[in-house]
Structure 1
Amino acid sequence: MTHQGAALQSYNNELVKCIEDLCTKRDELHKQILNEEEEKQKIQNDLRILSERLAKVNESLAKKIAARNEYDKTIAETEAAYMKIIESSQTLLNVLQRESSVLKDKGVPAFSNLPI
């Protein structure tokens, strides 16, 4: 019977040791879970902050692109109007030169010869 008691004691010791090992592994895993949950919270917070920053940058970018488009439109309209002024000036110069030539041919003195 002592032999059976010794065997039972040995099994009991092994069982207690296995349970303690499992508890230790569980505790280590629990610590890892807590650390990863904390990291997850930090990442989610960072993601929220970055999402807010992205929204602000996108809004600012949209406003600046709209303003640049207005500049482009104004510049294009101004350049087109300026080209019309240049064309009109060229036409006016041509007409003035032609009229001056006609007047000269008729013997009318040039403007530079007129008294001031």
Structure 2
Amino acid sequence: MSQQGAALQSYNNELVKCIEDLCLKRDELNKQIRQEEEEKSKLQNDIRILTERLSRINENLARKMASKNEFDKTIAETEAAYMKILESSQTLLNVLRKEAGNLSKATESKNPAPKEN
């Protein structure tokens, strides 16, 4: 009977050791789970912060692009108006030169040059 008792004691010790090993593994796994849950929470917070930041940047970009488009439109309209002014100035200059030439011819024919003796 003592041999059976020793075997039973040996099995009991082994069983207790196995249970202790399982508890240690479970505790280590719980520690890893907590660490990963903390990391997950941190990452989710980072994602939320980055998403908000991205949204603000997108809004700023949209406003700036609209302003840039207004600048482009104003510049194009101003350049077109300026080109019309240049064309009108050139036309006016040509007309003025022609009229000045006509006036010069008219005054020369009315006032003949004095004859030298």
Please, what TM-score do these two structures have when normalized by structure 2? 0.90
Aligned identity (percent) is 72
Higher relative contact order (CA 8 A, sep 6+): 1
Deviations 1:50-102 (A, max 9, x none): 10010000000100000000000000000000000000000000000001101
Q: What residue in structure 2 maps to residue 112 of structure 1?
A: none
Q: What residue in structure 1 maps to residue 37 of structure 2?
A: 37
Q: Which amino acid aligns with 1:39?
A: E
Residue correspondences, number? 108
Partner Cα separation in structure 2 for residue 80 and residue 73 of structure 1? 11
Q: What residue in structure 1 maps to residue 111 of structure 2?
A: none
Q: CA deviation at 1:11?
A: 0.7
Q: What residue in structure 2 maps to residue 89 of structure 1?
A: 89
- Residue 107 of structure 1: SS of its match in structure 2? helix
Q: What residue in structure 2 maps to residue 114 of structure 1?
A: none
Matched, 1:8 2:8: yes
Q: What residue in structure 1 maps to residue 63 of structure 2?
A: 63
Matches within 5 A, 1:43-58: 43-58=43-58
Give the ranges of 4+ consecutive aligned residues of structure 1 lying more than 2 Å apart after TM superposition: none
RMSD value over aligned CA atoms? 0.9
Q: CA deviation at 1:4?
A: 1.1
Gaps of 5+ in 2: 109-117
Q: Which amino acid aligns with 2:22?
A: L
Please, what TM-score do these two structures have when normalized by structure 1? 0.91
Q: CA deviation at 1:36?
A: 0.8
Q: What residue in structure 2 maps to residue 23 of structure 1?
A: 23
Partner Cα separation in structure 2 for residue 50 and residue 3 of structure 1? 69
Q: Which amino acid aligns with 2:92?
A: L
Partner Cα separation in structure 1 for residue 27 and residue 19 of structure 2? 12
Gaps of 5+ in 1: 109-116
